[in-house]
Structure 1
């Protein structure tokens, strides 16, 4: 396979197309990263719940520990304060659940933002590049077989290009006219941007 043409004009076009493809992917990665960061900012309420729940849990846990030391009512009071500890833990769990949802949403949204344009690129740009690489590589294998290249040129060159020959190039090819065969082979290689 031959990835790039030898002719400067076609080579420049291929390099520009490839660089554009890389830039396309880079832009969408940047967009996805930016959106990911924006969505992660939505986790602030969850962080607030985790912090508030942790503070409430710690306050009620400390109060319950101190209440246990009171005579007569210490156990009952510590049990009642334990409910406050559980409420703090519930707030912390709710905050962690919200944070997890935001983080998952940010990840999958960023993945979709990158995947769709990259798939579009792979469906449009990559087959064209692979087709050229295979065709140019196979044509290079025929470089030492001008008769086959000339036959290919007769079937692939435009009528306008074939009309530029003096006489009928198909007749010249059938009769073995080496000048016409060499010119047809050269034009077939040039049509692919391959050096003749």
Structure 2
């Protein structure tokens, strides 16, 4: 399987197109990761709230445990501290929820910012590359088949006219010479068809 043309001009265009596609994909990924980092900074308040809530709950739980040691009224004193500790735990949970939401938004934004540009680049770049690879394989098979030079010459005759001006025109014209089986005209025309496809004769 031939991935690149054999003629320098077309090969250079293909390599340039491949490099541009790779660079665009890399830029899209880098941009998406930068946006993700920026969004994840919004989770910092949630981390602080979670840390504060955990610290508060821990301190109140310890205070409640110490208050429970007071004779006779220990259990009564422990209940308000336990309630306050539960409120601190709720505050920590709220901070964690905020972080979860920010993380989900960051993930969705990252996926979107990667998938959409990469799909767009692939839709523009990949079909022409695959089409050229398949067409070049077909033309090479045709070139190597018996009578393939005649078919390539016909292909050149039915294509753009400008390259045909480089061939010396025999009496009766190129089409007539091709019909008569003129070997030189057939060779020249098949060479044009191959070069047009980016292949060397």
TM-score, L = length of structure 2: 0.93
The equivalent residue for 2:8 is 8
**1:1-196 equivalences in 2 (<5 Å):** 1-144=1-144, 145-155=148-158, 157-165=159-167, 166=169, 167-196=172-201
Computed over aligned residues only, the root mean square deviation of the Cα atoms, in angstroms, reads 1.2
Deviation of 1:185 after TM superposition, in Å, equals 0.5
Give runs of ≥4 in structure 1 deviating > 3 Å. 162-165
Aligned length: 195
For structure 1, list consecutive stretches of 5 or more residues without a partner in the other structure.
none
Query: C-alpha distance in 1, partners of 2:190/2:161?
Result: 16
Return the alpha-carbon distance in structure 2 between the equivalents of residues 183 and 32 of structure 1: 52
Post-superposition CA distance 1:8-42 (Å, at most 9, x none):
11111111110111111111111011111111100
Higher RCO (C-alpha under 8 Å, 6+ residues apart): 1
Report the alpha carbon displacement of residue 192 of structure 1 after superposing the two structures with TM: 1.2
Distance 1:74 1:121 in 2: 70
Greater shift in the superposed pair: 79-88 or 159-168: 159-168
Q: Can you give the 5+ residue segments of structure 2 that lack an aligned partner in the other structure?
A: none
Q: What do the CA deviations read for 1:48-81 (whole angstroms, capped 9, x no partner)?
A: 1111100110111001101111112110110111
Compared with structure 1, are the counterparts of its residues 180 and 2 closer, same or farther at alpha carbon in structure 2 (3 Å cutoff)? same
